[in-house]
Amino acid sequence: MPKQDPSNALLQKKSGKPWYREWGEAIGVALILALIIRTFLFQAFKIPSGSMEDTLLIGDHLLVNKFIYGSQVPWSDDRFLILRNPQRGDVIVFEFPLDTELPFYKRRDFIKRVIGVPGDIVEIRDKVVYINNEALVIPQEVHKGPSFSEETSRDNMPPIQVPQEQYFVMGDNRDRSFDSRFWGFVDKAQIKGLAFIKYWSWDSTKNRPRWDRLGRTIE
């Protein structure tokens, strides 16, 4: 008769279940909790481009608060438990508006800063952004050129009003950002959440972590 592992026997005696069932249930619960957290609370993202420099660098890993603007019901535009609406200056992650007709697995996530909220009149004159005819000062704004585009909308844009339930967004690296100046507004339903902290950062050019960026809040 084969010897019985004492540890397995003890586990079965305590719970009345085989060890492999106990482990399976524990893993199942962990997966369900992870899915709930990712869907309704927090989600991790990695920065792939320099459109938000120097606020966010290529290789930064960040967490997004998915409940502050209201947790979104899966496969619906409805939200519940809304704490507040997006505000000017928020750094948000959203589904790229031009991808809405693509299958969900092909849709891209963008990250930009909210510049205009519903009702605002946004205008750009010689790279200066005006909101309701007043110059908007964003300390994080940089101009690193050369631009990836020679379209005049990058530096100059006639006044436009932000529709209800929509937002005008721009990258902090103004000369290198593909944003609302080129493709329009972001619908509130497309916003996934507020980027709030950098939990990891990897400098691929030097092949080492950026220790000074870890744990820094995103402003």
Q: What is the CATH number of the domain that holds 213?
A: 2.10.109.10
Task: Please check whether residue 202 is in contact with residue 189, taking contact to mean a CB–CB distance below 8 angstroms.
Answer: no
Please state which of the ranges 22-36, 46-60, 175-189 shows the lowest mean pLDDT. 22-36
pLDDT, average across residues 12-29: 68
* Residues 100, 152 within the same domain: yes
Which of the residues 51, 71, 180, 201 is marked catalytic?
A: 51
Asked if 155 and 88 sit in the same domain, the reply is yes
Clarify whether residues 17 and 109 are in a common domain. no
pLDDT reported for residue 23: 78
Q: Which of 2-6, 34-38, 70-74, 140-144 has the lowest mean pLDDT?
A: 2-6
Report pLDDT for 81.
77
Do both 146 and 206 map to the same domain? yes
14 with 84, same domain: the answer is no
pLDDT in tens, 97-153: 999 889 988 999 999 999 999 999 999 999 999 999 999 999 999 988 765 555 656
Give the mean model confidence (pLDDT) for residues 190-217: 94
Q: What is the mean pLDDT of residues 13-39?
A: 67
11 confidence band (pLDDT: 50, 70, 90):
very low
Same domain for 206 and 119? Answer: yes
Q: 39 and 98 share a domain?
A: no
Domain count, the chain: 2
76 among known catalytic residues: no
Q: What pTM was estimated for this model as a whole?
A: 0.81
**What gap in Å lies between CA 64 and CA 43, rounded to an integer?**
5
Please tell me whether residues 20 and 86 are part of one structural domain.
no
In this prediction, residue 19 carries a pLDDT of 74
Do 59 and 2 belong together in one domain? no
pLDDT at position 7 over 50? no
Q: What is the residue range of 58's domain?
A: 47-217
Query: Which two structure tokens, joined as six digits, stand for 136?
Result: 């908007």
Q: Are residues 21 and 52 in the same domain?
A: no
- The pLDDT, as a whole number, for residue 8 is 46
Helix axes 19-36, 6-15, angle to 10 degrees: 70
Same domain membership, residue 51 and residue 38: no
Read off the pLDDT band of 190 (50, 70, 90).
very high
Is 51 known to be catalytic? yes
Catalytic residue among 15, 49, 71, 112: 112
Judge if 98 and 188 occupy the same domain: yes
Which stretches does DSSP call E strand in 101-212? 109-116, 121-125, 128-131, 134-135, 157-161, 166-170, 186-187, 191-203, 208-209
Q: Minimal CA–CA distance to 88: which of 37, 41, 140?
A: 140
- What is the average pLDDT value for the chain, to the nearest integer? 85
